[in-house]
Amino acid sequence: MPEPPEFSPIRTAIAGLPVVEIARKFGTPTYVYDAAKIVARLADLAAFDTVRYAQKACSNLAVIDLIRRHGGLVDTVSAVEIRRALAAGYSPEGSPPPIVYTADIFDAEALDLVVEKNIHVNCGSPDMIDQYGSRAPGRQITLRINPGFGHGHSRKTNTGGDHSKHGIWHDQLHDCLVNADNYGLCVSGLHMHIGSGTDLEHLSQVCAAMEKAAAELGRSLRMISAGGGLPIVYEPGDSFVDLGAYHARWDATRKRLEDRFGHQIRLEIEPGRYLVGESGYLVAEIRAVKRQGGNTFYLLDAGFNNLARPILYGAYHPISVAPADGRADRPIQPVIVGGPLCESGDIFTQQEGGFVARRDLPAAAVGDLVVIECAGAYGFVMSSNYNSKPLAAEVLIQEGRTDLVRRRQTFEEMIAAEVIPAQR
């Protein structure tokens, strides 16, 4: 289990390289990823037979490639995520399948692609069985089951229970198996992802639900997937899950199923946040320091167009200042940190419900840098062009070297698909 990270209000370096130099070289706002952390988190999960990276958390090709080179397989949720996995070097087919498509729907493009490339499909809705079965009868599929309860750090990330649209409702499993059979589809595995922020107490319930579903499926079962949802430490008081205990519970479930069916069953885990969350830093520059009544605001050149988690979920991210002059001896003061957007919710220090909170940070001025930490998961990938802000650059640090892995979006790229109609 990893050591909880140490958060400090001053951060002068990322992965040993000065923040000021990174900002000078690549500009701001820029996402910076520390490859060593991703590799270490992947290694933490080596007890599982397969670690399948949920690339929705951070789908830059360089990150996917890094995980591939270190033995991780990949989960995808859209046609373009499949194409990203292929572009990053994964083979479409193999055993276990290098790429899995897990979703609750196929759009036309995704269905064409999984049929054409023979990508393994994990069906999250009964309709997917008909749509896939009629195009690719005879293939193997897995089913994502909604066990009827869920878990999540916010209502918006809870993915089980009857308020969730995800997965095949547990009591429809039998009908789905009959339907799959009609198309000659072989159901070779079961998957349960019930939400982000799993805890051990909850896990026993999930394992029991998995065993029940497995008993219903029967001997064709070759794989069970624990889904994702491993938590990370965003703030003091958060904790990692005990990975040994987490694996032991799933392993015991797997072993009981192996005894029952008399053959080997592969155990997968499908983390996103755990692999990449802590590795990512959003580096921004302070462009204004304002006093509004009793409050001091640091306004950055990054906003919720770059990192949406605070405005969406009231998510807490550690924030630190990288002083432009390198001096760490600054007094600490309570401040509100916001972005450039024309919207009052563009605040990084907010709680769920939009309540603005103050954060103790070093005194700072225009030109100092701010680092928003633990931003590698659901950071860049959820960014937008709101207010016509270009997408940020992304930089990967490996062995003390920085590589630009996505250049900052240009004006030309932003308007490339737009057309002013000819006036007739």
Residue ranges binding ligand LLP (CB under 6 A): 54, 57, 102, 157, 159, 193, 196, 227-230, 270-274, 309, 377-378
Smallest distance, Å, CB 377 to ligand LLP?
6
Q: For residue 267, which of 54, 52, 39, 92 has the smallest C-alpha distance?
A: 52
Cβ contacts of residue 40 below 8 Å, gap of 6+?
A: 2
Tokens 């409702």, residue located: 169
- Of the two residues 15 and 54, which places its CB atom closer to ligand LLP in the complex? 54
Catalytic residue, from 58, 123, 186, 342: name it.
342
Q: Are 277 and 57 in contact (CB under 8 A)?
A: yes
- Kindly report the length of the chain: 424
- Of the two residues 97 and 228, which places its CB atom closer to ligand LLP in the complex? 228
Smallest distance, Å, CB 300 to ligand LLP?
19
Give, for 369, the enclosing helix (H) or strand (E).
strand 369-372
- Of the two residues 57 and 372, which places its CB atom closer to ligand LLP in the complex? 57
Q: For residue 4, which of 263, 257, 223, 241 has the smallest C-alpha distance?
A: 241
Q: Quick one: DSSP state of residue 347?
A: B
Q: For residue 405, which of 35, 123, 72 has the smallest C-alpha distance?
A: 35
DSSP string, 93-136: --SS-SEEEEES---HHHHHHHHHHT-EEEESSHHHHHHHHHHS
- Of the two residues 166 and 335, which places its CB atom closer to ligand LLP in the complex? 166
Smallest distance, Å, CB 37 to ligand LLP?
15
Smallest distance, Å, CB 251 to ligand LLP?
19
- Of the two residues 270 and 373, which places its CB atom closer to ligand LLP in the complex? 270
342 is catalytic: yes
Smallest distance, Å, CB 55 to ligand LLP?
9
Report the alpha-carbon distance of residue 8 to residue 5 in Å, rounded.
Answer: 10
Smallest distance, Å, CB 56 to ligand LLP?
6
Structure tokens at 237: 């008081």
Q: Distances from the Cα of 178 to the Cαs of 111, 123, 131, 174, 269, in angstroms?
A: 22, 15, 15, 6, 27
Smallest distance, Å, CB 264 to ligand LLP?
23
Q: For residue 276, which of 310, 222, 232, 244 has the smallest C-alpha distance?
A: 232
3 state DSSP class of 167: coil
- Of the two residues 227 and 318, which places its CB atom closer to ligand LLP in the complex? 227
Smallest distance, Å, CB 154 to ligand LLP?
7
- Of the two residues 14 and 241, which places its CB atom closer to ligand LLP in the complex? 241
Helix axes 173-182, 126-135, angle to 10 degrees: 10
Cis peptide bond prior to 96, omega within 30° of 0: yes
- Of the two residues 167 and 323, which places its CB atom closer to ligand LLP in the complex? 167
Report the alpha-carbon distance of residue 410 to residue 396 in Å, rounded.
Answer: 20
Give, for 245, the enclosing helix (H) or strand (E).
helix 243-261
Q: Are 73 and 53 in contact (CB under 8 A)?
A: yes
What are the residue numbers of the active site? 342
